[in-house]
Amino acid sequence: MLRGVRGATTIEQNSETVILSATEELLAKMIEVNGIEPEAVASVFISATDDVNAVFPAKALRRFPGWTYVPVMCMQELHVPNSLEYCVRVMMHVNTDKTQKEIVHVYLKDAQSLRPDLNEPSL
């Protein structure tokens, strides 16, 4: 079954180092808590708000061993007035036997406000 695994985080400033570090932290946590192997991943979409443009956040995924051939695409998030700034969001499409309820979606830093109903206290 193909399932979506969501994640989001925020950054403190629009710099390559900060963007890649925060995105890497988010991806690592998503992979860890859901036991994701690269061979099970169909694709990964990464969006960022318009104030995050110093680097493609997808570059962070290429730091993970075994993820070379996983299709990854970056895009700009819709600009909605008063929405969360400096935000990177991830949608990972994973082949898994887990039910939707068993999938752990990861929201870090200020992005926890996006889905407070899904925040895991242990993350």
So which residues are the catalytic ones? 6, 62, 74, 77, 89, 107, 115
- Among candidate residues 14, 4, 1, the one with its CA nearest the CA of residue 115: 4
Q: In the predicted model, is pLDDT for residue 122 greater than 60?
A: no
Rounded Cα–Cα distance for residues 114 and 110 (Å): 8
Reported as a pLDDT band with limits 50, 70 and 90, residue 120 is: low
pLDDT in tens, 86-102: 999 999 999 999 999 99
Please report the sign of the dihedral spanned by the C-alpha atoms of residue 1, residue 100, residue 120, residue 81: positive
Average pLDDT over residues 18-30: 98
Residue type, 17: T
In which order are the strands placed within the sheet that holds 41-48?
72-76, 41-48, 87-95, 2-10, 106-107
Task: Please report whether residue 122 resides in a domain.
Answer: no
pLDDT in tens, 33-58: 999 999 999 999 999 999 999 999 99
Domain harbouring 74, CATH code: 3.30.1330.40
Task: Please report whether residue 121 resides in a domain.
Answer: no
Task: Please report whether residue 119 resides in a domain.
Answer: no
Task: Please report whether residue 21 resides in a domain.
Answer: yes
Task: Please report whether residue 78 resides in a domain.
Answer: yes
Domain that holds residue 61: 2-112
Task: Please report whether residue 31 resides in a domain.
Answer: yes
Domain count along the chain: 1
- Among candidate residues 122, 121, 56, the one with its CA nearest the CA of residue 88: 56
Rounded Cα–Cα distance for residues 27 and 90 (Å): 8
Reported as a pLDDT band with limits 50, 70 and 90, residue 12 is: very high
Task: Please report whether residue 123 resides in a domain.
Answer: no
Task: Please report whether residue 118 resides in a domain.
Answer: no
